[in-house]
Amino acid sequence: MGRTSDYELYQKVQEENKEALEMLYDRYEKLLFSFSFKMLRQKELAEEAVQDVFMKLWRKKGLYSEDKGKFSSWLLTVTRNACIDLIRKQQKNEVEILEKDIDYERTESVEETVTWNEERESLKEAVSSLTEEQQDIVEMFYFKGYSQSDIAERKKIPLGTVKGRIRLALKHLKKIYRERGDKYGAENLR
């Protein structure tokens, strides 16, 4: 397809190729930022999360290999971990917020950008088939990073049932999503 694969770019980034870093950045900026923003609800913090992810990619060698699955999935996991770290730091009031003192013109990227509109629509539909409680549980567990006991307390359900409920909700979601969204399921995202 004439498009450099994520893995090829990642390998070049490992060799400290700045051009490859920028291409990878352009490709994932929007997705990683949007995901971080959903988790952190603050643009400054979301930017910090994205920066942490690219710091890792640039500085730490050999974090990703193809046996870890798709690069995009791995990258999203790294992003979620960065967000979770910031949530924890924020709870301890240790977090520093990057300040945007200097602004630039937004440059329209020539590089292909990952978009996920169709996936989102399809996922939202799947989510709406969950009960309200299930939706809350998924939100609290995955996007807010709550502990099981926090979820039990907030939803007034026995602690011992929390894990089972999260699993059930996620399984249901995945089933509906993958059935409905087959034609643009996750496989479509490179």
Partner 1 sequence: MEPKTCDNLLEYYNGLLEGKEKDAFEKHLKQCDACQEEWAEWQDLTADLPYLSEEAEPPVGMKERILTNVTASDSSVAHHKTQPVNKTDEITTNVSPISQRKSKSWVQGLLAAGLLLSLVTNAYLFNENNKNEQVIQEQINKTFKTVQLASEETESTGVASMVQENDTMNLVVQTNNLTQVKGTETYQVWLIEGDKPYRAGTFTPDENGNGAVVFPVKFEGDHEWDAVAISHEPTPNSKKPVGTIVMASNL
What residues from 43 to 62 belong to the interface with partner 1 (CB under 8 A)? Answer: 43-44, 46-47, 50-51, 54-55, 58-59
One residue of 1, 103, 110, 158 binding partner 1 per CB under 8 A: 103
CB hemisphere CA count around 26 (13 angstroms): 16
One residue of 3, 61, 124, 154 binding partner 1 per CB under 8 A: 124
Tell me the C-alpha distance between 167 and 137, whole Å: 10
The DSSP letter of residue 130 is: S
Q: How far apart are the first and last CA of the chain?
A: 12
Residue 111 binding partner 1, by CB under 8 A: no
Residue 152 binding partner 1, by CB under 8 A: no
Tell me the C-alpha distance between 77 and 64, whole Å: 11
Residue 163 binding partner 1, by CB under 8 A: yes
Residue 90 binding partner 1, by CB under 8 A: no
Please give the sequence-ordered ranges of beta strands (E in DSSP) within 26-156, or none if there are none. none
One residue of 2, 15, 62, 99 binding partner 1 per CB under 8 A: 99
